[in-house]
Amino acid sequence: MTIEFTLSNRQRDLQAGVRSLAQSIVRPQSLRWDREHAIDEDFLRNLARMATSMGHGGLGTSASLMRQEEEAPAAEKKPKSQNLTTVLASEEMAWGDAALLLCVPGPGLGGPPVRASGTPEQKKRFFGIFDDLTVLKWGAYALTEPTAGSDVAGIRTSCRKDGKNWVINGRKCFITNGARASWNVVFATVDPALGRAGHRAFVVEKGTPGFSVGRIEDKMGLRASETAELVFEDCRVPADNLLGGEEKYVTKEGFMTAMKTFDNTRPIVASMAIGIGRAAYEYARDFVKDHYVLSRPIPRYAAIAERLARVGRGLAAARMVTWRAAWLADEGIENAKEASMAKAMAGQAAIRACIDAIEICGAEGSIQTDHALLEKWFRDIKVYDIFEGTGQIQRIVISKRLISNLKSF
């Protein structure tokens, strides 16, 4: 092995395929989805079918791939570069429309914890529902609460054992696909005083008595994606739905389940941010080509050139750090620090890209029209420095791995 940056043929084909889909089919509908707060079901059905055939399911690995992985002998497990490949495809798709990636049917963010901690029966049960691609189904991940966002250890949603069931009480908020999900991975605590050791993860199925959907959020951006509040009032969940079974929770395992999810998803979210940032960057670059008479440079030209280049290199830097985080995961090397670096850098670089792109294009950049998506990207990108761990949380993750004996601040 040496230092190299050449994509495999498979990766190049996938990248080109997703790029052409994003350009010819996704982008033209992007603004309409944003206005309608939804993506056509037929379109999602086709996309789900395609994603499965490509072995790529937007956020994380598709359900069928997770199943295959479970059933295949160890030697035949997923191709070695799965994380990097997913990162490449996510950037292209987000370049077309970022909300779409959050709407792709499948286990979504709920997939990784089930995969990491579920028993074989649980994996079969919860991933099995996605086998029929003609029916749109989602999984979701419910962690955040009104009073516990970044401070995940501080969740208050309670759970107690009652015979063969667990009884859950509390509220979850900002849950992507939470309302339409067939099941949510829900984190609750047996006793807040126990901290992380008290955490339990459940798969709560739609229609479970005591489980209901609260408000659907009205957001700055990513408006085609559903963000829901979930309410649990004496919600009775069968003991079989405790993720991993009871013996798994002798230690801090519950919390670690919540956190493990992020080492793999943060580089993907980072690459989505880079996709949006690149879209804005390319838009501004093309605007400059079209609107400035380059043979007659005016003082503003050099200033714009520098601004464009700063945006371009910021994205290039974030992309390299993101590739590295994904590559480490593919190599089976611990990457918590690098995954957080990717997420922190990409979020900021892409926000910078969207802000500067509008500035470069002037008033025109702020106006919503069907072929000018700058104002939409500006609205979409902000949350990339917030969800999956804010920029500040990423810095906590990073600094704990830089500074000796730093347990908490």
Partner 1 sequence: MVAFRPSEDETMMRDEVVSFAKTLRTDARAFEKARAVSEETRRAAHGMGLGSLAIPAAAGGAGLGLVTQALVEEAIAYGDPAAAFGLAGGASFVRAVLELGSEEDAAKILSRYTAEDGFKRFGAVAWGERKPNPERAGFSTIATGGKITGQKSFVVNASRAETFVVFAQVDETQGWDGIAAFVVDADAPGVTVSPRAATLGLEIADVADVKFEDAPATKLGDGSAFTEKTIRFFAKTGLIMAARAVGLAQAAFDVTRDYCDGRKAFGKPIGHFQAVAFNLADRAMDVDAARSLVWRAAEAWDRGAPEKEALLYSAHAVSFALEAAMRCGDDAVQLHGGSGFMRDYPVEKFMRDAKQLQLCVMTAEQADQLAAAIEVGQPLSIGAILPTPETQTTLV
Chosen residue from 294, 332, 363, 371 binding partner 1 by CB under 8 A = 294
Query: Please, what is the minimum distance in Å from the beta carbon of residue 315 to partner 1?
Result: 9
Q: Which of residues 73-102 bind partner 1 (CB under 8 A)?
A: 81, 84
* Closest alpha carbon to 361 in 307, 313, 296, 295: 307
Query: Please, what is the minimum distance in Å from the beta carbon of residue 309 to partner 1?
Result: 4
CA atoms of 210 and 316, how far apart (whole Å): 48
Of 91, 253, 338, 388, the active-site residue reads 388
Taking residues 321 to 340 in sequence order and writing x for each that binds partner 1 by CB under 8 A, - otherwise, the string is x-xx--xx---------x--
Q: How many residues bind partner 1 (CB under 8 A)?
A: 48
Query: Please, what is the minimum distance in Å from the beta carbon of residue 363 to partner 1?
Result: 21
Taking residues 295 to 314 in sequence order and writing x for each that binds partner 1 by CB under 8 A, - otherwise, the string is -------x-xxx-xxx-xx-
Contact in structure between 183 and 152 (CB atoms under 8 Å): no
* Closest alpha carbon to 168 in 176, 159, 177: 159
Q: Which pair of tokens denotes residue 292?
A: 């400035």
Report CA-CA distances (Å) from 99 to 23, 26, 27, 185, 389: 15, 11, 11, 21, 18
Check residue 134 for interaction with partner 1 (CB under 8 A).
no
CA atoms of 119 and 191, how far apart (whole Å): 24
Query: 139: part of which helix (H) or strand (E)?
Result: strand 139-142
Q: Which of residues 390-409 bind partner 1 (CB under 8 A)?
A: 392, 394-396, 398-399, 402-406, 409
Catalytic annotation present for 4: no
CA atoms of 272 and 392, how far apart (whole Å): 19
Smaller CB distance to partner 1: residue 109 or 341?
Answer: 341
Q: Which pair of tokens denotes residue 328?
A: 């480490």
Determine how many CB atoms are found less than 10 A away from the CB of residue 382: 17
Binding stretches for partner 1 (CB under 8 A)? 1-8, 81, 84, 285, 288-289, 294, 302, 304-306, 308-310, 312-313, 316-318, 320-321, 323-324, 327-328, 338, 341, 344-345, 392, 394-396, 398-399, 402-406, 409
Catalogue the active-site residues.
388
